[in-house]
Every structure is written in structure tokens, then in C-alpha cells.
Amino acid sequence: MLLLAIETSCDDTAAAVVRDGRDVLSSVATNQDAFHAKYGGIVPEIASRRHVALLSAAVEDALGRAGLAFADLDGVAVTAGPGLIGSLVVGVAAAKAYAFALHLPLYAVNHLHGHVFAPFLDRERPQFPLLTLLVSGGHSQLVAVESATSMRILGRTRDDAAGEAFDKTARLLGLPYPGGPALDALAQRGNPRAYAFPRHRPAGDSLDLSFSGLKTSVRYFLESENGREARPEDVAASFQAAVVDVLMARLQAAYGRGPYNGVVLSGGVAANSALQSAFRTWAERNRVPAYLPPPKYCTDNAAMIGAAAFHQRRAVRADPLTLCADPNLPFELPARRR
Ligand code: KG4
Ligand code: ZN
């Protein structure tokens, strides 16, 4: 089954061709960072306009790289939400047009389910049930993936997403946008034990996350006398260590409530070197099968949307004439469509 997949939920204009939810024949993504950098964050109106300008070319590029024509396709998959409404609408409108004009079935995918299916690309299929730690610029959550169509959020951030915390703290340190990768690089030269920034612990048996207290504590520290004299690499490494501790503590707590056949780390923050190393070390020590997709499938991409659409195809089939983008698309699939 050859699916054309389209992803425009935020600021990456992405298209891919995926066979049987696993083989990525092509995956192209145009990053818009250069357009948003001077504003220090994503400007929704600019993101939508860039999608309008770039999407058709991205789709044709994806088909060309796969060596295919429109007539070879078996369906069109698209991110229908959650995300920025103006950005989503561009991808959904295009996908509807392709599906309608080519008489192909249309599959409406939840962006977060795409991240869950990223480890299914280019490899043997991991076995359910899986525990997924999904950490990106917009989301931070722990997901119990019981099957392709049955997933539950076990814990989520109460304030900032992990990537957002990285980006905001990077800004406090004077690093360029997007700050996560820059902070990661700086932290590699610093001492993670230089400063003991607070680690959020939820009350009771909650698996929720929180990063706003940590970010504020770094801000107050940087404004203090000690902070003004601190080495930025030590502050970066100490902040990063606190984020990694919080994420790994919740992952371990959730895993203990299993059973699970494996753990998955996905989303843009999965590219973080300290988090990757903590995740791998923990999994090896506890003999847990661990899945860490390559960076190109961790950050936003269309191939993961093609994977999710394939595995959920009966549940997410949509009508090309009536599908609407939904910026608040619920995480759970409606029971009757599973
Ligand atoms: O998944 P993604 O590409 O987009 C969203 O769905 O949000 O994630 C982007 C986020 C940004 O906040 C970025 O700073 C963060 O992932 N990120 C990192 C690293 N690489 C990307 N954060 C920490 N360390 C990194 N190496
Ligand atoms: Zn994402």
C-alpha cells in the first residue's frame, strides 16, 4: 500500500511516500526556522503562508524522489490536528484535493499518533504494548500504546513542553532560536552538577510533568550575583540534567506500572544527547527493548504520518469533501472507529 503523506501542523512543510507503513521511499521537509528566528519563536501567520508557498513543490519532490507518479498511489494521509489551525488547513486542503481528484482514499491522522509510529519506519515492527515518551516543542507526554488504535495518555505536562523549556532557557542564555540544539551543544562543555536546579515531582501517583518552575529558577539564578558570574555551559548542563532527570523519573515510574514490551523515545527533544544517553543506559540496565528513531523521524516529518495512517487505516479513513482540520483534535480515537 503506497501512501502519499502530508504534514503541516506547525512550521515544517513535509511530504513523504511510505509503503506498507514501514518503507520510506522518500521523505522531504522544508524547515522554516530562518523565517521565524528573528521573532524568537514561530509566527503562525508566517508559517501558514510558507506552507502555501512550499507544499505543492514538496509533494512533487517526494513523488519524484520515490520514482513514482500520482497514478501509482493507493491513498493520501494527512495530519488533521492538533496544531496551528492556519498551518493544518493548508495541508488538509491539499490532501483533500489530491484524494478527490485522484479518486484515492483519504486518511486523517493525529499528529501525536505520527510521533508514536516513528519507530515503525525503516525497521521491524516493535511489539505492543509499548510505553512512549513523546517530547517535542509543543507536547510532552507519556503514552501507553496498547495497539495501533488504542492509546492512552498516562501523564502530560502541566505547563511548558520539554522543547519549549529548552527553547526558553536557551533564550535566557542568549542562544539563537531554536534553542534546544544550541543548548545541547553548549551543555556538552559544562558541568551538569554545577547547580542543583529543582526537579518537579507530581503529588501522589500522578505521572504528569512540569517545567515552568525549573525555567523560572534558571531565570532567577541568572539574574542573581552568582548567576551573572556563572559559566553559561555549566548553567546549560545543569538545566539539561534537571530536564533529563524529570523525564527519566516519570518514564521509570510509568514502566513500573506495565507490563510493556518496550519503550520508545520520540519527538524533537529525543535528539538531545543527554536524554538519549540516559534513555539507552536505563534500558540496557533494565533489559528493556528500547526504540529511538533517527533524528529525521523524531522531529516533525510526513513519513511518520504515513506510518500511522497505514496502521490505523480503518479507523482514520475520512471523506475528502467534509474533513476539517482540528487544532484541538482529541488524542483518543472514537471507540466505534477502532
Ligand atoms: O518534534 P519537533 O520537531 O516539533 C514539534 O512538534 O514541536 O520538536 C522541536 C523541539 C524544539 O523545541 C527544539 O528546540 C527541540 O525539539 N530540540 C531539542 C534538540 N533538538 C531539537 N531540544 C533539546 N536538545 C536537542 N538536541
Ligand atoms: Zn511534532
The pTM for the full model equals 0.93
* Domain boundary assignment for the chain: 2-117+297-337, 128-293
The secondary structure of 141-157 as a DSSP string is EEEEEEETTEEEEEEEB
Question: Which pLDDT score, from 0 to 100, does residue 288 have?
Answer: 96
pLDDT surpassing 70 at residue 322: yes
Cell of 129: 504494548
Domain 128-293, CATH among 3.40.630.30, 3.40.50.170, 3.40.50.1000, 3.30.420.40:
3.30.420.40
Question: Which pLDDT score, from 0 to 100, does residue 204 have?
Answer: 87
Mutate to test the pocket of ligand 1, among 166, 172, 175, 296 (most ligand atoms within 8 A of CB): 166
pLDDT surpassing 90 at residue 177: no
Instruction: Name which residue sits closest to atom 3 of ligand 1, judged by CA.
Output: 299
**Mean pLDDT in residue range 155-166:** 94
Question: Which pLDDT score, from 0 to 100, does residue 35 have?
Answer: 75
**Mean pLDDT in residue range 264-273:** 94
pLDDT in tens, 128-154: 999 999 999 888 999 999 999 999 999
Spacing, Cα 227 to ligand 2 middle (Å): 33
Query: When comparing pLDDT for 137 and 194, which is higher?
Result: 194
pLDDT in tens, 278-309: 999 999 999 999 999 998 999 999 999 999 99
Which strand (E) or helix (H) includes residue 235? helix 232-256
Q: Do residues 100 and 67 touch, judged by C-beta distance below 8 A?
A: no
Question: Which pLDDT score, from 0 to 100, does residue 334 have?
Answer: 78
**Mean pLDDT in residue range 73-95:** 97
Spacing, Cα 1 to ligand 1 middle (Å): 31
Q: Do residues 208 and 155 touch, judged by C-beta distance below 8 A?
A: yes
Separation between Cα atoms, residue 148 and residue 117, nearest integer Å: 9
Cβ–ligand 1 contact at 10 (below 6 Å): yes
Closest CA to 32 of 49, 56, 15: 49
Query: When comparing pLDDT for 35 and 192, which is higher?
Result: 192
Question: Which pLDDT score, from 0 to 100, does residue 118 have?
Answer: 95
Cβ–ligand 1 contact at 21 (below 6 Å): no
Separation between Cα atoms, residue 103 and residue 100, nearest integer Å: 5
Instruction: Give the contacts of 241 (CB within 8 A, at least 6 positions apart).
Output: 192, 193, 197, 274
**Residue holding cell 515518551?**
133
Which amino acid belongs to residue 194? A
Spacing, Cα 297 to ligand 2 middle (Å): 10
* Torsion sign across C-alpha atoms 186, 190, 194, 199: positive
pLDDT surpassing 60 at residue 121: yes
**Which residues on neighbouring strands pair with residue 132, listed in sequence order?**
143, 264
pLDDT surpassing 90 at residue 91: yes
Fold matches, 2-117+297-337 and 128-293: yes
> Could you tell me the pLDDT band of residue 176, with boundaries at 50, 70 and 90?
confident
Separation between Cα atoms, residue 289 and residue 291, nearest integer Å: 7
Question: Which pLDDT score, from 0 to 100, does residue 203 have?
Answer: 85
Question: Which pLDDT score, from 0 to 100, does residue 36 have?
Answer: 76
Q: For residue 168, give the ligand nearest its CA.
A: 1
Cell of 130: 509499548
Nearest atom of ligand 1 to the alpha carbon of 178: 14
What does the mean pLDDT of the chain come to?
94
Domain 2-117+297-337, CATH among 3.30.420.40, 3.40.50.10860, 3.30.70.240, 1.10.3720.10:
3.30.420.40
* Torsion sign across C-alpha atoms 206, 253, 277, 270: negative
Spacing, Cα 269 to ligand 1 middle (Å): 4
Cβ–ligand 1 contact at 163 (below 6 Å): yes
